[in-house]
Amino acid sequence: MKLTDHHPSPIARERAGYRKRQTVRSVLVAAASTGVLGTLLVLAVTGSPGWERVRQSFLDPRIGREALPEILTGLWLNVRLLFFCALGALALGLLVAVLRTLRGPVFFPVRALAAGYTYTFRGLPLIIVIYVLTLGVPGLRLQGMPPVLILGGIALVLTYGGYLAEVFRAGIESIHPSQLAAARSLGLTYRQTMRHVVLPQAVRRVAPPLLNDVVALQKDVGLVSLAGPIDAVRAAQIATAESFNYTPYIVAGVLFVLLAIPLIAVTDWVTLRAARRQAAR
Amino acid sequence: MSVPVLSCRGLRKVFGGHVVLDDLDLDVAEHEVVALIGASGSGKSTLLRCVNLLEEIDDGTIGLDGEHITDPRTDPDLVRRRIGIVFQSYNLFPHLRVLDNITLAPVRVHRRDRAEAEAQARELLARVGLAEKAGDYPDRLSGGQQQRVAIVRALVNSPRLLLLDEVTSALDPELVGEVLTMIRDLKADGMTMVLATHEMGFAREVADRVCFLDGGRVIEDGPPEQVLGEPTQPRTRQFLRRIIEAGRLQVG
């Protein structure tokens, strides 16, 4: 019988009708409760005794408009830093994770170095790494010292590379040994096994946590402003100091959220897809 | 007599204080099919994994076409290219399409032309009735289809010796037949095979020799009619009686 030839029995139609009514009901309940909660929140905030004062110092449209160009200029720095630092940290993390899986006595120093790196940079506060690289390293007065912005970027890559290395390693170790056995039994070398069998599966599996760390990195790239370069938050701080009004911070905050939305959406999509794939088994 | 394809002498393998293989000897001649039978833990799978150098043996030697492959100076990757192995749980690569599973080794290991390797893979798939599955991912296939792909993957390297490790144990009964048919065809083509199996009926039909493993040794070795029909060793008789009680071997 063809799919279209089927006429649902009365009982199936009754069930479908009931489910539809239930769905409509839940949507209505959700809309009502959201509306009530939202109204209460707005009333509580706008009805508070200090609301007028807070509105003036945090939500002044004129000051927000005036600060916007400076903040956008700063944000462009954030975006560029995020792009290069994310690529750098992903590459470094992957390299360190692979180095940590190498077996055999020859690789002991490499393994030890890679392990020491992840321990150190996951423990070390990012601010201190930035200070050491942007203030300490130029103090060496070596030839060809890169600008402070690059040094700050290196600090970010070093710190986030440590986190990402552990995420990659978790992914590599989650691949079942039978996959390695199958690859090696076909004559693939360790390198070929990693490249063609283990890493493609591992990276797919840990894509959600990796992207999560990239979202976190997006907020931390602004910390290079500690060394001088003006990012969005620093631009907002300057504007705030000039106007004695905090609105520029709110503007910067909104821009950061807008910037994060596409990244978070991609993360959610990847997570969902991974979950669907698992469920299909 | 010519040099055996596989020749194991005095194999010993210990796992955490437990002796799995104990002074085991086994020869397999060219075009011969040897079935390894025995209870779980008797060392069948370990033996196959040792032959493929996936496990390191603790004593003894393994020869492949007269070459000592257990010599630490041999390159295990070069040895594995001459031996195919098929696992109980298929172990296909889930992130690669069926065709890419099969051509991975020919293209990356044997440096063959991709188009030529794919043509050969498609031909082999067609021969086992899986031509239309070439572009699918393994998890879209049934267990029997996956296992047939795994066998094709092992065959595409034209191995000297094919090891089959309980290849039907994870399959639903109605899917076992399609895999066994494929192995029967391989025997007809003259492939040298060692298979660990619980399918006594199949061992009787396809094997030239049946070896009963117990306590890490081959304690009975002979033609299937003799080992499965008139075993001389009490341990073999005991094992076969249990198998018959479990309904896996028709009497007579």
Q: What CATH number should be reported for the domain holding residue A232?
A: 1.10.3720.10
Q: Are residues B191 and B242 in the same domain?
A: yes
Residue B46's pLDDT is what? Answer: 92
Percent above pLDDT 70 for chain B: 97
Please report the ipTM that was assigned to this predicted complex: 0.86
The domain tally of chain B equals: 2
Query: Which of B158, B174, B204 marks a domain boundary?
Result: B158
A201:B95 CB<8 A: yes
Which chain B residues are Cβ-neighbours of A281 within 8 angstroms?
A: 139
Q: Are residues B100 and B210 in the same domain?
A: no
To the nearest whole angstrom, how far is the Cα of B56 from the nearest Cα of chain A?
A: 13
Contact B233, B219 (CB under 8 A): yes
Nearest to B105 among A178, A188, A204 (CB): A188
Mean pLDDT for each 10-residue chunk of chain A (281 residues)?
78 93 95 95 90 86 85 90 94 95 88 94 94 88 85 94 96 94 92 94 89 89 86 88 88 89 84 67 46
Whether the CB of A182 is below 8 Å from some CB of chain B: the reply is yes
Kindly state the helix (H) or strand (E) to which residue B104 belongs, with its residue range: helix B98-108
A155-170 burial string, b = 16+ CB within 10 Å, else e? bbbbbbbbbbbbbbbe
Which chain A residues are Cβ-neighbours of B87 within 8 angstroms?
A: 178, 181-182
Q: Are residues B133 and B48 in the same domain?
A: no
Which chain B residues are Cβ-neighbours of A185 within 8 angstroms?
A: 52, 54, 80, 83-85, 154
pLDDT, average across residues B86-101: 93
Q: Are residues B165 and B204 in the same domain?
A: yes
Query: What's the DSSP call for residue B74?
Result: S
> For the domain that residue B52 is a member of, what is the CATH number?
3.40.50.300
Whether the CB of A184 is below 8 Å from some CB of chain B: the reply is yes
Percent above pLDDT 90 for chain B: 67
To the nearest whole angstrom, how far is the Cα of B166 from the nearest Cα of chain A?
A: 15
To the nearest whole angstrom, how far is the Cα of B23 from the nearest Cα of chain A?
A: 25
| Mutation to test the B interface, candidates A186, A201, A277, most B Cβ within 10 Å | A186
| Mutation to test the A interface, candidates B93, B100, B142, B155, most A Cβ within 10 Å | B93
B89:A178 CB<8 A: yes
Which chain A residues are Cβ-neighbours of B101 within 8 angstroms?
A: none
A207-232 burial string, b = 16+ CB within 10 Å, else e? bbbbbbbbbebbebbbbbbbbebbbb
- Distance set, CA A131 to CA A160, A234, B95, B182 (Å): 16, 16, 43, 67
Nearest to B80 among A187, A201, A280 (CB): A187
Q: Are residues B76 and B171 in the same domain?
A: yes
Residue A104's pLDDT is what? Answer: 81
Query: Which of B108, B139, B158 marks a domain boundary?
Result: B158
Q: Per residue in A69-128, pLDDT tens? A: 888 998 999 999 999 999 999 999 999 999 998 888 889 999 999 999 999 999 999 999
> In angstroms, rounded to a whole number, what is the distance separating the alpha carbons of residues B234 and B81?
39
Q: Residue B176: which domain range?
A: 1-82+161-252
* pLDDT tier, B250 (very low <50, low <70, confident <90, very high otherwise): low
Say how many CA atoms lie within 13 Å of B52 toward its Cβ: 29
Query: Which of B116, B140, B158 marks a domain boundary?
Result: B158
Look at the block and give the residue holding tokens 């986190």. A163
**The dihedral formed by the CA atoms of A159, A165, A168 and A169, expressed in degrees to the nearest 10:** -150
B77:A187 CB<8 A: yes
Q: Are residues B113 and B74 in the same domain?
A: no
Examine the pLDDT at B119 and tell me if it is beyond 90: yes
Whether A9 is covered by a domain: the verdict is no
Signed CA dihedral, A193, A194, A196, A200: sign only: positive
Q: Are residues B182 and B251 in the same domain?
A: yes
Whether A94 is covered by a domain: the verdict is yes
Look at the block and give the residue holding tokens 């905050």. A253
Residue A260's pLDDT is what? Answer: 86
Q: Are residues B102 and B29 in the same domain?
A: no
pLDDT, average across residues B134-159: 91
Q: Are residues B72 and B168 in the same domain?
A: yes
Whether A249 is covered by a domain: the verdict is yes
A185:B157 CB<8 A: no
Whether A193 is covered by a domain: the verdict is yes
Nearest to A184 among B78, B80, B154 (CB): B80
Q: Per residue in B178-236, pLDDT tens? A: 888 889 999 999 999 999 998 888 888 889 999 999 989 999 999 999 999 899 999 99
Contact A160, A93 (CB under 8 A): yes
How many CB atoms lie under 10 A from the CB of residue B49?
20
To the nearest whole angstrom, how far is the Cα of A268 from the nearest Cα of chain B?
A: 21
Q: Residue A148: which domain range?
A: 60-279
Q: Are residues B78 and B166 in the same domain?
A: yes
Q: Per residue in B6-54, pLDDT tens? A: 999 999 999 988 899 999 999 999 999 999 999 888 889 999 999 999 9
Contact B28, B194 (CB under 8 A): yes
- Distance set, CA B78 to CA A189, A216, B5, B73, B248 (Å): 9, 46, 16, 11, 39
B154:A179 CB<8 A: no
Q: Are residues B35 and B98 in the same domain?
A: no
Whether A175 is covered by a domain: the verdict is yes
Contact B6, B194 (CB under 8 A): yes
The domain tally of chain A equals: 1
Whether A144 is covered by a domain: the verdict is yes
Whether A50 is covered by a domain: the verdict is no
Contact B47, B90 (CB under 8 A): no
Which chain A residues are Cβ-neighbours of B104 within 8 angstroms?
A: 186, 188, 196-197
Signed CA dihedral, A138, A139, A140, A141: sign only: positive
Look at the block and give the residue holding tokens 């705030």. A240
**Between B247 and A267, the higher pLDDT residue:** A267
Residue B252's pLDDT is what? Answer: 43
Q: Are residues B77 and B190 in the same domain?
A: yes
Phi, psi of A8 (to 5 degrees): -60, 140
Residue B214 β-bridge partners: B217
3-state secondary structure B155-202: HCCCCCEEEEECCCCCCCHHHHHHHHHHHHHHHHCCCCEEEECCCHHH
Which residues, 6+ apart, have CB-to-CB distance to B11 below 8 Å?
A: B21, B23, B24, B25, B26, B47, B50, B57, B59, B60, B62
Query: What's the DSSP call for residue A271?
Result: H
Whether A115 is covered by a domain: the verdict is yes
Examine the pLDDT at B1 and tell me if it is beyond 60: no
| Mutation to test the A interface, candidates B79, B80, B101, most A Cβ within 10 Å | B80
